[in-house]
Amino acid sequence: MAQINLIPYQVETYKDHADEIPAGVQLIKAPDKWRKGYKGNQVVVAVIDTGCDTTHPDLADRIIGGRNFSRENYGLSTDLSDENGHGTHVAGTIAANLNDNGVVGVAPKAKLLILKAFDKEGKGELESIIQSIQYAIRWRGNRNERVRVISMSCGTSQNNKRLHQAIQQAVKHNILVVCAAGNSGDGIGNTTEKNYPGYYKEVLQVGAVDFDLKLADFSNTNDEIDMVAPGVKIKSTYPGNKYATMSGTSMATPHVAGAAAVIIEQMEKEFGRKLTEPEIYGQLVKATIPLQYSKRIEGNGLLMLGSDSSSSNQNSTLSQGKPYIISEASI
């Protein structure tokens, strides 16, 4: 049976306590949107990953539903437990609560649909991924909510037709699919490293930079990169009510997925209608600034949610590497 794995990532540190807006969330200037009232309110993001610690205090009330498609506790569809940690970390970067404790995600009012497709070793079957995507397309909430964004940080070197078709179907249903570029890069921009589903034209493929806005050495480069986001030493939620700092394009991807939720809320309020998938993608591209790398490295540039985002403002982001304490008053 064909297999697909989590993109390898590095765990830097574990902590029992946190009380900050993570540096990556600051770097993309998500708090600028929060001050204007845009926090991804009620936008549903499906996270196809290793599950999630659904009791984590930063995540518990952000989760709107879920299903287990993995072979771990196979047949127990309600088992969303995360024995790996990757899924919980990704979920926190997308939507951890702004509650004066712990960490906060890019879209702290978004809702998470947890689709467990990988086991504790980060291994999954292609069929589980396909089923997760199909479920995300069909899913409806109690108030007829629909999935608007899918976040996936997995990869295979094989181009699978059925996986591609599932993603194409999601896009046709106006779901933005955000995927990690992969961590097999060599730090050289003119070489090509392909990782599927990230390399498919229909997805938004995310590369990683550090807090000095330098390309992460591990980040894949290719001609389908759409943008880059913080992916080095990213602090987020971890199972057991803990926190961890991790590195990888897996960590860059949820910054963009969360940003999509914020942009959907803002733009749909301004336009007075639902956005199509190409419109969501276009609005995200508008929220980037160039880093002067080649397109194969940065695509359209660094994700930057702040209203003053522009190339002339690029240098001001360099001071954003240190986290600051969470406080509702501060935003």
Enumerate the active-site residues: 49, 86, 250
Residue 114: both structure tokens together: 């947890």
Closest CA to 54 of 142, 138, 114, 131: 114
Tell me the angle at which helices 277-286 and 249-271 cross, rounded to the nearest 10 degrees: 110
β-sheet with 234-238: strand ranges across? 10-15, 242-247, 234-238
Three-state DSSP class for residue 150: strand
**Alpha carbon distance 92, 219 (integer Å):** 21
Q: Label the pairing between strands 176-180 and 63-68.
A: unpaired
10 Å CB burial of residue 145 (0-12, 13-18, 19+) is middle
Rounded to whole angstroms, the Cα distance separating 198 from 21 reads 28
